[in-house]
Amino acid sequence: TSSGVFLLQMGWGDLGAFGEPSKETPNLDQMAAEGMLFLDFYTASPLCSPSRAALLTGRLPVRNGFYTTNGHARNAYTPQDIVGGIPDSELLLPELLKKAGYTNKIIGKWHLGHRPQFHPLRHGFDEWFGSPNCHFGPYDGSERPNIPVYRDWDMAGRYYEDFKIDLKTGEANLTQLYLQEALDFISKQQASQQPFFLYWAIDATHAPVYASKQFLGTSQRGLYGDAVREIDDSVGKILKHLQELGISENTFVFFTSDNGAALISAPKQGGSNGPFLCGKQTTFEGGMREPAIAWWPGHIPAGGVSHQLGSVMDLFSTSLSLAGLQPPSDRQIDGIDLLPVILQGKLIDRPIFYYRGNELMAVRAGLYKAHYWTWSNSWEEHSKGIDFCPGQSVDGVTTHTQEEHTYLPLLFHLGRDPGEKYPLSFASEEYQQAVEHISGLVQQHKATLVPGQPQLNMCDQAVMNWAPPGCEKLGKCLKAPESDPKKCSWPH
């Protein structure tokens, strides 16, 4: 059985099936109607790179190294001056799937490091079309180079230069390129009758948001909605392609997101986290609860709904299971195999850990969520207009200083209070029972935790994408400045 993972940056509330009021995602809604909707599904970090590292390793960022120790409870990722990346010691899903004869392709943003040793084709992927970092820019090549777009080992050009993004109009045809890559790859695999793993990690809804001309202006929601519509349309075309090729019953497909909608980009480029608190960068539900849909015609009963606490890390274990493989036994794997949930409607008891950097901020068990630390961002950042919770403010919860609650965690019941507005009374029996249970889980978790070497501490202008492989052929090599490694600055 082949696997496909659509990994986007969208909020829980961005899909019609999840209550977005414009209801402009007919293909994703149809995917849900034909498959299974996960309502309690989480990413492993409120930021992109660590989530992606977690998805591909089945392990929390604090284990696989995708975190920083430069400051307490800070999110970090892989900008183009990052020195670190995915360690060789980590076993990635595609590396393992190779043993079962899979061909693996990543389309879109890799985000696990852009230096040669971190290249996705050195970590199990057979093919790549996409970029190592976010499509920020344009840059003029003196202070920093534009982000390269790779085809397999070599760069095929750079964003803004060879792959246009018009920041004024929001026009870029990148999603169409990424769609075509996916369709072609699937056709090729079907022809060769080889199982495959396709990781479609495109970034149209990540600021700067873009859409192709045919989608611009088509959404009630503005440019962000245009991008969502194009992604929705693309997902529909990919699923239809699987059906037309007659391989949909042999292909497990999962749709989810790497973090909550970035409310700092609202209203023009931000999405929706539905009824949840705050967004990207935070460990409130809006930052880490994600839309999620499993689709596998002929196997998953249509119209299914699951309240299984799920995680992007489960896609690691589930994809291995589909390939008849076992997860590695020499290390802690945080993902679980969701097939019993998806195929037999089982519910597996497991907690969700919410990290920011290497600090365990919160834990969910059942419907209870305990916050051990709270903060959104600092007063200093907030005063500059950086607001992860615009229009929302819950006293003592959306704090602007790091507040420790280790001895009396803030406890929420996410069924009665999905918006994390009403902490339970410390004196209540309900509080005491739930916190006792969760504290036990925390103790167990911390006792066995072996943190990985933090990869996101050091930054250096010299390591940026000055001269990626293949730049000579394109005449696109730039001269790197002298190495000057510094601690990266992670304000959030």
- From residue 239 to residue 268, what is the string marking binding to a second copy with x (rule CB under 8 A)? ---------------------------xxx
**Which residue of 138, 141, 236, 275 would you call a contact of a second copy, by CB under 8 A?**
275
CA-based angle 260:262:267, to the nearest 5? 130
Q: Which is nearer to a second copy, 91 or 389 (CB)?
A: 389
Please give the DSSP secondary-structure letter assigned to residue 156: E
The minimum distance between CB 378 and a second copy, in angstroms, equals 19
Cα of first residue to Cα of last residue in the chain, in angstroms, is 40
Task: Pick the stretch among 145-153, 188-196, 390-398, 436-444 that binds a second copy (CB under 8 A).
Answer: 390-398
Distance CA 487, CA 492 (A): 15
Q: Does 18 participate in binding a second copy (rule CB under 8 A)?
A: yes
Is residue 330 classed as helix, strand or coil in its secondary structure?
coil
Q: Does 451 participate in binding a second copy (rule CB under 8 A)?
A: no
Distance CA 227, CA 219 (A): 9
Please give the DSSP secondary-structure letter assigned to residue 304: E
Q: Does 229 participate in binding a second copy (rule CB under 8 A)?
A: no
Assigned token pair, 253: 């497909």
**Which residue of 105, 115, 206, 221 would you call a contact of a second copy, by CB under 8 A?**
221
Q: Which is nearer to a second copy, 195 or 271 (CB)?
A: 271
**Which residue of 224, 252, 255, 373 would you call a contact of a second copy, by CB under 8 A?**
224
* Residue 141: closest CA among 471, 470, 456: 471
The minimum distance between CB 165 and a second copy, in angstroms, equals 20
Q: Which is nearer to a second copy, 75 or 272 (CB)?
A: 272
> DSSP string spanning 164-230?
--BTTTTB--HHHHHHHHHHHHHHHHHHHT--EEEEEE--TTSSSP-B-GGGTT--TT-HHHHHHHH
The answer to whether the annotation marks 258 as part of a ligand binding site is yes
**Which residue of 28, 37, 44, 54 would you call a contact of a second copy, by CB under 8 A?**
37
Task: Pick the stretch among 192-200, 206-214, 386-394, 480-488 that binds a second copy (CB under 8 A).
Answer: 386-394
Q: Does 117 participate in binding a second copy (rule CB under 8 A)?
A: no
Bridge-partner residues for 360, per DSSP? 355
The answer to whether the annotation marks 259 as part of a ligand binding site is yes
The minimum distance between CB 26 and a second copy, in angstroms, equals 9
Assigned token pair, 171: 């026009």
The minimum distance between CB 459 and a second copy, in angstroms, equals 33
Q: Under rule CB under 8 A, which residues in 398-427 are in contact with a second copy?
A: 413-419, 421-422
Q: Is 48 a catalytic residue?
A: yes
Is residue 484 classed as helix, strand or coil in its secondary structure?
coil
> DSSP string spanning 84-107?
----TTSPPHHHHHHTTT-EEEEE
Axis-axis angle for helices 314-322, 48-57 (nearest 10):
30
- Contact of 391 with 459, CB cutoff 8 Å: no
Q: Which is nearer to a second copy, 64 or 256 (CB)?
A: 256
Q: Does 13 participate in binding a second copy (rule CB under 8 A)?
A: yes
Q: Is 437 a catalytic residue?
A: no
Which helix (DSSP H) or strand (DSSP E) does residue 264 occupy?
Answer: none
Instruction: Write out the binding residues.
Output: 48, 258-259
Instruction: Write out the binding residues for Ca(2+).
Output: 48, 258-259
Residues that bind a second copy (CB under 8 A): 12-13, 16, 18-23, 37, 39-40, 219-222, 224-225, 266-268, 272, 274-275, 277, 305, 307, 367, 390-394, 413-419, 421-422
Active site residues: 48, 111
